[in-house]
Amino acid sequence: MRGAMSIAAVLACAGAAWAETVDVRFVVTVPDGTPADATVYLAGSVGALGGWRADGLALERQQDGTYAATVALEAGRPVEYKVTLGAWAMVEKDASGGEVANRELTPSEGGTVNVKVAAWASTDPDAPQPKRESTVTGNVKVHEAFASAHLPRKRALRVYLPPGYEENADKRYAVFYMHDGKNLFDAATASFGVEWRADETADRLISAGRIEPIIIVGIDNTDARLEEYGLGETGDAYAKFVAEEVKPFIDKTYRTKPGAAHTALGGSSMGGLTSLHIARRYPDAFSKLAVVSPALVRHNGKIFGVIETDGSWLKGKRVWFDMGTNEGAVFDKAIDSTRRLEKQFKSLGLLPGKDYYYLEVHNAKHNEAAWAARFDTILLYLFGRSGR
């Protein structure tokens, strides 16, 4: 569940300019059987609640047996959170032991929020994370502990191979590089157990002849995700890692079409932001981009200034970008950011449909389920076969 930080907390960390705060007091009632010496925490989508760390904000035990804390939250900014005992293996559950959806709050003024926990997944701090069954259906190869000369952390590369890859020994394939690779193919590795179903979707579209057969390379994130997917020095190092280490390895190991015309790059949230960043730094390596629910306001919207100064690298590319209308982190700001990006595209002379496609997805949230639901459309735009 820590992966939720990788995905849902991005915009929560992005808006330092939204300064007005209100004091919200959380009061949590815990179920019978909660150890008397337990520490209860809130884990949520904003920094004040730990940015989805399981031990985000410790609550104090009150004389009446409840647990409470007062925290300053940005007024009007939606927050998602859960209650834990300090680890995701000890997260709250419903009365039947089922998953509890993220709790939601949009503070407008100070007050008290009363929360009742029905049950815990476990009260044992050493309890293992519940094992999830693998949902991989496609031909996915995993390269564990892939190292970099530019970044200190190793990570897995997950490589989806299209139907017929093994049989057609002379055929070469376009490649789609994607960030947050652990969320793409398998619920057992995905944040909150929800995957993009990228292998199922690609298999279906390829088998129907609607897209060309492609290879999808999922690059796992690490606990330095925000820095690696950002626009600073670590983000520059990550760009170098993708373009100068991952891509050459894939081109050497698999039968790819290595040219930019056949190479795409994409991701969601911070993954969308870094896709733009990498494409700017390596304009001759990638010609297709998927910028999904991008965290454009990160770094105080620096990416807009970058494009305004020089957007020439966007010309000749095919760019998908989108935003849901219920992303869970200041709807107006999120939508405004992608609308601003479209205005910049138009000012560069880029043509909708031909050079880019912008989609606002009604009521779509900022999570893997929402991105999975439109992944087929993304593939059709980037790799679709005309007339199909």
Angle at 273 between CA 227 and CA 378, to 5 degrees: 135
* pLDDT confidence of residue 263: 98
Q: Do residues 256 and 249 lie in contact, with contact meaning Cβ atoms separated by under 8 Å?
A: no
* pLDDT confidence of residue 6: 40
d(C-alpha 228, C-alpha 211), whole Å? 31
The residue written with tokens 């309890």 in the block is 127
Start-to-end C-alpha separation, the chain: 39
Helix 375-383 to helix 198-207 angle (10° resolution) is 50
Amino acid at residue number 276:
L
Closest CA to 79 of 48, 41, 119: 48
Q: Do residues 146 and 155 lie in contact, with contact meaning Cβ atoms separated by under 8 Å?
A: yes
pTM above the 0.85 mark? no
Write out the residue limits of the CATH 2.60.40.10 domain(s) in the chain: 3-120
Print pLDDT tens along the chain (388 aa): 334 334 334 333 444 344 489 999 999 999 999 999 999 999 987 889 987 788 999 999 999 999 999 999 988 777 879 999 998 889 998 888 877 767 888 888 889 999 999 999 899 887 666 677 899 999 999 999 999 999 999 999 999 999 999 999 999 999 999 999 999 999 999 876 789 999 999 999 999 999 999 999 999 998 788 789 999 999 999 999 999 999 999 999 999 999 999 999 999 999 999 999 999 999 999 999 999 999 998 888 999 999 999 999 999 999 999 999 988 644 457 889 999 999 999 999 999 999 999 999 998 888 899 999 999 999 999 999 875 5
The answer for residues whose C-beta is within 8 angstroms of residue 49's C-beta and 6 or more apart is 42, 43, 56, 57, 71, 79, 81
Task: Note the CATH architecture for domain 139-383.
Answer: 3-Layer(aba) Sandwich (3.40)
Write out the residue limits of the CATH 3.40.50.1820 domain(s) in the chain: 139-383
Task: Note the CATH architecture for domain 3-120.
Answer: Sandwich (2.60)
Alpha-carbon torsion 129, 140, 264, 251, what sign? positive
